[in-house]
Amino acid sequence: MNVLEVEGLTKHFPIRSGLLQRETGRIRAVQDVSFHIRRGETLALVGESGCGKTTVSRCILRALSPTSGAIRFSQADGTVTDLATLSRRALRPLRRHIQMIFQDPYASLNPRMLVGDIIAEPLLVNGVPAARREARVRELLDLVGLPATARTRFPHAFSGGQRQRVGIARALALDPRLVVADEPVSALDVSVQAQIINLLLDLQDRLGLSMLFVAHDLGVVRHVSDRVAVMYVGHIVEIAPTAELYTRPRHPYTEALLAAVPKPDPAQRDAIAAPSGEVADPANPPPGCAFHPRCPFAVPRCATEVPALRETTHGSWSACHRTNELTLQGVV
């Protein structure tokens, strides 16, 4: 069963200039993005900075209103609701079911609040009685590997990794059906990253969490995700099960991202170099495939026609003219 289905999601930001602030252009941050997340599954959304992955996550949370498209969320009773069409008032009772883990564990916690109050705040807002709040805070601290005494301390008394555990506890306070993790380990040291990733994996197994894991580091994504969706300049260019994407990437951009992952053994390093040139400007994207100016396999068709996201093998999709043609020929 799918917890979330995103279909044709598009988000444009107007560019305004002049005394009257008239619209002179648009930043096409997200263009016709579609994917789904199953119950108990982690889907990783990856790409370079500026590709639109954070905008997608904010549209799902309705921190941003999409320009067009559908965001269908399945509740525990089977009711499916399109979040994209709801007003702020109608969204309010659904927000408890979709929670977020923020990127920066230092900026996402109120320094003037005790850790226990930070974790209990979602419970307080949703009318949970005081006795139950206290018990739930203790339960959550134990769940994320922090002592019960942590509830009486301020965030500044903790390390970055411990603060992120507090953020995870806060996100889980209301037993959400979907957790959106926006680069939750990118601000942490490598050794601490591993601890948080292991915690998330453990919580997924114990609680059956469904998670959208937003990241730019494919080295991290490999250990936490069931499937990976790769974005470039607002478009999804490949979706595949994690194991298949890492062993048989279908899109040249995915190959380049994988080649950039550091490998300690020189014999295992890829011969594929990082793509040359700059990431395309979402305010003025190139015609056709947005990646074609940087792609070593580009053909004339790539400069004029946007490739469709097509299924290459069961469960794997790619938006590449070259891959699509090879698939039709039975080569891949």
Please tell me the distance from the alpha carbon of residue 278 to that of residue 289, in angstroms, as a whole number: 15
pLDDT of residue 219: 80
The set of residues, in sequence order, having a beta carbon less than 8 Å from that of 209 and lying 6+ positions away, is 40, 42, 179, 203
**pLDDT digit of tens for each residue in the chain (332 aa)?**
899 999 999 999 999 988 888 888 899 999 999 999 999 999 999 998 889 999 999 999 999 999 999 999 999 898 999 999 999 999 999 999 999 999 988 899 999 999 999 999 999 999 999 999 999 999 999 999 999 999 999 999 999 999 999 999 999 999 999 999 999 988 888 889 989 999 999 998 899 899 999 998 888 888 899 999 999 999 999 999 999 999 999 999 998 888 877 765 555 555 555 566 778 888 888 899 999 998 988 888 999 999 989 988 888 999 998 876 666 555 55
pLDDT of residue 280: 84
Please tell me the distance from the alpha carbon of residue 134 to that of residue 126, in angstroms, as a whole number: 14
> Looking at the DSSP assignment, which residues form a beta bridge with residue 13?
27
Residue 100 and residue 179 in contact, taking contact as beta carbons nearer than 8 Å:
yes
Long-range CB contacts for residues 110-113, cutoff 8 Å, separation at least 24? 110/155, 111/154, 111/155, 111/156, 112/154, 113/154, 113/155
Please tell me the distance from the alpha carbon of residue 281 to that of residue 149, in angstroms, as a whole number: 49
Residue 138 and residue 151 in contact, taking contact as beta carbons nearer than 8 Å:
yes
Residue 173 and residue 95 in contact, taking contact as beta carbons nearer than 8 Å:
no
* Residue carrying the six token digits 């069961």: 314
Long-range CB contacts for residues 14-21, cutoff 8 Å, separation at least 24? 15/283
Closest CA to 297 of 241, 332, 256, 328: 256
